[in-house]
């Protein structure tokens, strides 16, 4: 009898940092398609969306949020249903002292569904939400110690959040009509 052993986990001394470092928002209506890792595989990187796999409309709005250091989190509980596995991605971003312009932005896009991609402190890119099933955004006012807002993006999917080959807008959207100068960085 022959067996094959697979070992998963960190090797001693390997760094592993938590939290979301930065994230970008695309309105789901502006995303034409997300080519799955099966449709456009990335060599040697299973379950990874190619840097050419996120297709958006010309003139789409790309908003960047740069949260305070090590405050934004992502979790994704999974479950099994009759139709198969289901995942519930959730991104939480505390935003201290939001400006009136940011409040207006949130009000304008309150009912919008989102495709969100982000980079963690390990440098790994991730993607959640799809054109026909974007993440929902809810806000909670925090008048306590941080005196700000808690942004929460939630959704449901039949696959876990995919890794993303790159999170650099200039790489993902080559020859795009984006204005990369606009972002939602509200550092206090």
Helices (H), the chain: 100-108, 169-172
β partners of residue 132? none
According to DSSP, the β-strands at 135-142 and 148-154 are antiparallel
pTM > 0.95: yes or no: no
Show Cβ contacts of residue 80 under 8 Å, excluding neighbours closer than 6 positions: 86
According to DSSP, the β-strands at 162-164 and 90-96 are unpaired
Does residue 40 register a pLDDT over 80?
A: yes
DSSP assignment letter at 17: -
| pLDDT tens digits, 121-144 | 999 999 999 999 999 999 999 887
37 or 142, higher pLDDT: 37
């Amino acid at each position: 009898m022959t067996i094959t052993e697979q070992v998963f986990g960190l090797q001693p001394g390997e760094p592993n940092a938590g939290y979301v470092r930065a994230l970008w928002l695309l309105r789901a209506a502006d995303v034409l398609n997300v080519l799955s890792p099966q449709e456009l595989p990335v060599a040697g990187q299973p379950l990874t969306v190619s840097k050419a796999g996120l297709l958006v409309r010309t003139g789409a709005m790309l908003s960047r949020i740069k949260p305070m250091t090590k405050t934004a989190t992502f979790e994704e509980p999974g479950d099994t249903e009759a139709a198969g596995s289901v995942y519930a991605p959730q991104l939480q971003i505390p935003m201290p002292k939001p400006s009136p312009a940011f409040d207006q932005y949130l009000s304008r896009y309150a009912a919008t569904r989102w495709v969100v991609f982000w980079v963690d402190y390990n440098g790994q890119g991730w993607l959640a939400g799809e054109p026909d099933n974007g993440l929902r955004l809810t806000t909670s006012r925090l008048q306590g110690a941080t005196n700000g807002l808690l942004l929460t993006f939630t959704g449901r999917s039949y696959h876990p959040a995919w890794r993303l080959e790159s999170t650099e807008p200039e790489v993902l959207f080559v020859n795009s009509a984006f204005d990369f100068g606009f972002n939602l960085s509200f550092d206090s």
